[in-house]
Amino acid sequence: AAGARGGGVAVGGRGRWGRDRWGRGRWAEAGGEGRGRLAACGGGGGAPPSGALSSRPPAGASKWDVREQVWDYLEASGLAAFPRPVHRRIPNFEGSHQACCSIKELDVFSRANEIKVDPDKPLEGVRLAALQARKTLLVPTPRLRTGLFNKIVPPSGATKEILRICATSQGVKEYSVPIGLDGKARVDLVVVGSVAVSEKGWRIGKGEGYADMEYAMMVSMGAVQKDTPVVTIVHDCQVVDIAEELLDDHDLTVDYILTPTRTIKTNCKRLKPQGIIWHKASYSAKGGLLVPKFC
C-alpha cells in the first residue's frame, strides 16, 4: 500500500536509468525512437496506479548493475546531495529531510522507545526526529570498528541547535557512549539507508553488508524480535523492481519506505535474517578485532 505525498530525464547510453512521472526509478531501454531516454509515461497528474509503471531492470542485471545505475542517475539528474559523489555510498539526495520528517506520521515511530538509525547522511532527519521526541537513539559504530552501537546522549537542557548537532556525524562522535555486545538494548524500530528498494520491501545496500550484519547481530543478542519493523528512507527514483533471484538469505528487508512524496507499507513476507550466517561472513581486521560482514 502506498500513500502519495507528492517525466523523464535524458540519461544517454544503452539501457540507462530514468524516472516515471511520479519520480520512481525506471529503466529506459535503448532502441527505436527515444533511444537512451526514459520511456514516455503519459500526461496528467495524480497518484500512480497500483503496481503500474515500475519497470524492472533488464534480465540478468546484478546488484551492482542496479547500484551503479541509481548512483549515476542521482548524479546526472542533479538529485544527489552532499557528500558527493554518491557512488559507493548510501546516497544523500535532495528532499531527504522531507522524507525523514514523514516518519513522525508512522505509528511504529510514535510507539517506539528505542530506535536504531544508521549513521548515513540521508537519515540525519530521522535521528533528529528521534532526539526531539526524547526517544533513545542508537547509532551503529561506523564499520563496526569498536562495537555495535553508540547511544546518543544530548547534554542536559540541550537546545534545538545542539540536538541538530547530535543528529550529525559530528554529534555521534561528541555526544555518544558505546554499548557493547553484552548490552541490554531492546530496539523497537530499525531505520536503514538503501541504494535501491522495491515496493515489496526488497533492499539493496551499498554492497558492504554492514546493515545486514548489524541486524543479524541484533537478532543474536536479542535486541530485535521477528516483528521489529524496519524503515528505509530513499528518493522516489530509488524505488525500483528488484528480481527475487538477486536476494540472499542474509539480505535485510524493509516494512516501510519513506520518500519525499510517498509512504509505502510493503507488507513484506520474506523472512528477515534470523542471525549471523557464519559461512557467508568475511572478516577484516579493525583495531585488533575481527569484524564480520556480508559481501
Partnered with residue 231 across adjacent β-strands are: 191, 256
For the chain, how many residues are written? 295
232 vs 1, 68, 194, 204, 288, CA distance in Å? 15, 19, 7, 11, 32
Give me the pLDDT at residue 282, please.
54
CATH architecture type of domain 92-279: 3-Layer(aba) Sandwich (3.40)
The answer, yes or no, to whether residue 21 has pLDDT greater than 90, is no
167-171, 217-221, 258-262, 266-270: range with highest mean pLDDT? 258-262
Residue ranges covered by each domain of the chain: 92-279
Lowest mean pLDDT among 36-45, 68-77, 91-100, 257-266: 36-45
pTM more than 0.85: no
Written as nine digits, the cell of 188 is 523497537
Most confident range, picked from 4-8, 38-42, 83-87: 83-87
* Cβ within 8 Å of residue 262, ≥6 positions away: 2, 3, 4, 5, 6, 22, 236, 239
Peptide bond into 273 cis (omega under 30): no
User: What's the whole-number mean pLDDT along residues 210-217?
Assistant: 83
Q: Which residues contact 221 (CB under 8 A, 6 or more apart)?
A: 148, 181, 182, 183, 185
Distance CA 217, CA 16 (A): 37
Most distant CA pair in the chain, distance:
64
